[in-house]
Structure formats: C-alpha cells, structure tokens
Chain A
C-alpha cells in the first residue's frame, strides 16, 4: 500500500484480556519495527524484524508481549493479560532496508486498558 497501515486505530480493553494489534507495512519494505509511546513520553523500542532473520526482541518489556511477522508482510503484536500500564500508543514503522534509511510510521493504535 501507499503507507503503513495499523489497525485498529483505537482499542479499549479490560484488564486481563488479550489484545492483538496489526501492522501492514509498505510493500517491499524488508524491515519492520514496533515502538510504544506512553502519554507525554518518547518512543520505546519493542521489536524489530528484518526479512527472514530472527527478530530482535530486546525491547519487549515482558513475556506477555510477543510479535510475529510472516516474510515481509503483515505483523501482529500480541499483548496477553493486559495491564493498565500497557496503555499507550503502539506505533509500527517499516523501512526499505535496515540501515541508514528513514522509517515510515503508521498512525498507531491507541490502546486503553481499563
């Protein structure tokens, strides 16, 4: 597509429920990134996929967080047993190549855990 698409744009969930966030990157972009942005804060790196290589999961805050990506297509970020501190905007970005290229960001999914 023309840009990075994320869905849903907004999600309200009850504490303890699982949620799944989706990211559809720009066609042909081999690199895909997930970031979290808490209210009034900077971007916190979560996970990074580059082609068919093993993902860099070093930013995932706990084992409740996981992400998958099949090839160079759609990625899903799953948060199990959501907690109130998971409330944030989850941003996905893709890049043509892993190094030296700017990212194209999606508009994000605003997650609210009540």
Chain B
C-alpha cells in the first residue's frame, strides 16, 4: 500500500538556523512527491515537487527538498529559517496513475526569534 509518514508532529527551530522537516514514503513504482504549506486560517500552498531528475528540488520561499530513493525519504530543508516560516507542512505522494495525492499528517514548524 502507498503511504506517507511525517514522523515529527512538531519541529522547533531558532531563527537563522537550518531547518529540516522529515518525510518518508512507501510506494510501488516511481514516486511523485510534493510539499505543501498551510498558514493559519488559509488554504494549502504548493511548495515544490519531485517527479524525476535531480534529487535536490528547489521550491518557493527558499525551501528545497532532497529525494533519497534508498532511504525512501523526501525531507524538506531550508538553510536559514525565518519566523514567517512558522506553519503546518504537509508531505504528499501521488497515488499511482489516478492523480489524487495521499497526504502525511503534517508537521508544525515553529521558528522562534
């Protein structure tokens, strides 16, 4: 069965420090992986996606994610966190050829000044 796991409910980071939000997946075949961000009282916004090619994917707001096939991971990273990055982050996997995404439970990122 295809699934996405975000092992951390919350990640706390000091402003200016690097951040990592973890995601692992399980899928038969090639995965299509996505990251979305949800700010308070707002809808989800697309950050980045991995379809094929370079394992390091760059996205919006300075975020990037590294696809690691051997570890079945797609961790979200940013070199220097901002307080404004505080939000709920969702990793998602495209389910086969049918197009709908399976979302992880989400990780709350809190960046303190």
Contact = CB atoms under 8 A, between A and B. Distances in A.
Interface of A: 4, 31, 33, 35, 41-43, 45, 48, 50, 56, 59, 91, 93, 95, 98-100, 102-108
Contacts of B97: 99
26 contacts: A4-B43, A33-B100, A42-B103, A42-B104, A42-B105, A43-B44, A43-B103, A45-B100, A56-B98, A59-B100, A91-B43, A98-B98, A98-B99, A99-B32, A99-B94, A100-B49, A100-B51, A100-B94, A102-B34, A102-B46, A102-B49, A103-B36, A103-B44, A103-B46, A103-B101, A107-B42
Given A102-B34, A107-B42, A41 B99 contact: no
A102 B94 CA distance: 10
Contacts of A33: 100-101
Interface residues of B, number: 22
Given A42-B104, A45-B102, A99-B94, 18 more contacts: A35-B103, A41-B105, A42-B90, A42-B106, A43-B90, A48-B98, A48-B99, A48-B100, A93-B44, A95-B99, A100-B94, A103-B36, A103-B44, A103-B46, A103-B101, A106-B43, A107-B42, A107-B43
Which 7 pairs of residues, A with B, have the shortest CB-CB distance? A98-B99, A102-B46, A42-B105, A105-B43, A43-B103, A105-B44, A107-B43
Contact of B45 (A42, A59, A100, A105): A105
Nearest to B97: A99
Greatest chain B CB density within 10 A among A41, A45, A103, A104 is at A103
A56 B90 contact: no
A98 B100 CA distance: 8
Given A98-B98, A100-B51, A108 B103 contact: no
A4 B43 CA distance: 10
B11 to A, nearest CB: 16
A109 B43 CA distance: 10
A100 B101 CA distance: 10
Contacts of A98: 98-99
